[in-house]
Amino acid sequence: MSEFLAQIEPIKQAAVAEMRAASDLAALDQVRVTFLGANGRFTALLKQLGALPKEAKPAAGKALNEAKAELERVLAEQRASLEIRATLPQEPTDFTLPGRHRSLGRLHPLTQATEDIVRIFRRLGFVVADGPEIEDEYHCFDALNTPADHPARDTQDTFYLADSENPGATAGKRWLLRTHTSSVQIRVMKRQPPPVRIIVPGRVYRRDNADATHNPTFHQIEGLYVDRSVTVGDLKGTVEFVFRELLGADVRVRFRPHYFSYTEPSYEIDFSSALVRKMGKEWLEIAGCGMVHPQVFENVGYDPEIWTGWAFGFGIERIAMIRYAIGDIRQFYQNDLRFLEQF
């Protein structure tokens, strides 16, 4: 019995010494295995306890438990110390040095303009709708009262895709990059009955040569309001409110008769403000709009004798250029941080 008890203290002292000498967590874990593992030196003493005489077991068990508790305490303390040491910098740190400024990202000016427009329309009860940028001819043109032989289609009928470029293509249909977000209006009206009150921001594509005011890819936002007894007065009031909120209280808006195949009557919208006059102009064209053509309603299954509505559309780049006094649309797409960081 005395010989068994005499083994406990030396093994405990050796284990404590090696634990405190461990330089990292891996070394500490190796010490733990050596002494407390399944085949460890201290574990071997625990296994011998069962072979002792019955009267010797209480004292031996107490001594072993006290020694094991001590080893586990030292192991936990050393592990905590080494974990803290592992998180410290490998090289000395001078905390008196000035901090490093972490630059934060910011929204692109086109995104800022889009979010401002959406926020204004949400106040009027409009919701945002979205749709595919790869569109078929029916939704992009035919349903909007612009058949293949219509002259208004000539300037937009472009950027067609082969079936191999569009894995989701349906046989018998022609697909293209959408030339306006009006296709989403058709999809929404086919999906739900009136009333409808939506705005549709998104990227569109046209066959334009890039210059200061044109780009083959640009962003457009369109609106659609369909209900009973909707009039041009509703259209005019909405347009005036939106542009004054967006461009300033001094904005004046005028409507000029125009032609669009999917609205009747149709109008171009011009506006005047101090910003426009600084550009040397009195009026600047900014949007197109009109009352939804009865044929469009029939194409989507709405009764034009019951429902009326208006639609409008304008380029987001044009709004951003006016707001931020930007003279060249191509700057939005050049990814020049010197330009983008100004916003």
Check whether residue 200 and residue 264 sit in a common domain: yes
Q: What tokens appear for 307 in the block?
A: 């429902």
Each residue's pLDDT, cut to its tens digit, for the chain (343 residues) gives: 567 667 778 888 888 888 888 888 888 888 888 888 888 887 777 777 667 777 777 777 777 788 888 888 988 998 998 888 888 777 777 888 888 888 788 899 999 999 999 999 999 999 999 999 999 989 999 999 888 777 767 766 678 887 666 655 565 678 889 999 999 999 999 999 999 999 999 999 988 888 888 888 999 999 999 999 999 999 999 999 999 998 888 889 999 999 988 999 999 999 888 878 877 888 988 999 999 999 999 999 999 999 999 999 999 998 998 888 888 999 999 988 889 888 8
Contacts of 291 by beta carbon, 8 Å cutoff, 6+ apart: 230, 232, 235, 263, 264, 265, 308, 309, 310
Q: Which pTM value belongs to this model?
A: 0.67
Does residue 229 lie within any of the structural domains? yes
Check whether residue 113 and residue 249 sit in a common domain: yes
Number of structural domains in the chain: 2
Does residue 101 lie within any of the structural domains? no
The domain that contains 238 carries what CATH number?
A: 3.30.930.10
Check whether residue 60 and residue 118 sit in a common domain: no
Which residues constitute the domain of residue 15?
Answer: 2-87
DSSP 245-299: HHH-TT-EEEEEEEEETTEEEEEEEEEE-HHHHHTT-S-EEEEEEEEEPHHHHHH
* Bridging pattern class, strands 263-272 and 252-260: antiparallel
**Could you give the angle at the alpha carbon of 36 between the alpha carbons of 30 and 41, nearest 5°?**
95
Q: What tokens appear for 125 in the block?
A: 């009860």
Check whether residue 193 and residue 305 sit in a common domain: yes
Check whether residue 114 and residue 73 sit in a common domain: no
Does residue 99 lie within any of the structural domains? no
With 0-12 CB in 10 A as exposed, 13-18 as middle and 19+ as buried, what is 217? Answer: middle
Check whether residue 175 and residue 78 sit in a common domain: no
CA 263 to the chain's CA centroid: 34
Check whether residue 332 and residue 188 sit in a common domain: yes
Does residue 96 lie within any of the structural domains? no
Closest CA to 310 of 210, 185, 132: 185
The CA-atom distances, in angstroms, between 45 and each of 40, 50, 52, 221 are 9, 10, 11, 80
